[in-house]
Amino acid sequence: AALRTPPTALPWSQVRIESNGRAVVIPRAQAGRLPALVTSLLAAPTDDGERAAPGSLRLELGQGDDAAGVLERVGERWRWTPVREGQQGRWLRPEPELAAALDAEILRLLGR
């Protein structure tokens, strides 16, 4: 159960997106489709992965000044690292359509 935290139980009010040396902080209310896409991503199938692999894109979900967790894209998969005690990180394998929608929305938000 600790591996599969229900996405609806993850409160976040802002996201910090980092990619290619660029970073933006966006309130959840202004993040367009990203909240729904993150919820779908967190419900994606999981598999094993190497913890030390570097990520090419980083989404830090926050609730006020507190971090809720970090999503990092590593190749075709995403690494979820929760900040809260008692929760474990996991590797997520989104469907290609979800991955493409996430990429498009993240690029849109980075370009704001």
3-state secondary structure of 79: strand
Both tokens of 9, joined, read: 């139980």
CB neighbours of 7 closer than 8 A, spacing ≥ 6? 38, 39, 40, 42, 43
Q: What is the pTM of this model?
A: 0.84
Q: Dihedral of CA 83/85/90/92: which sign?
A: negative
20-71 pLDDT, tens per residue?
889 999 999 999 999 999 999 999 998 876 666 778 899 999 988 888 899 9
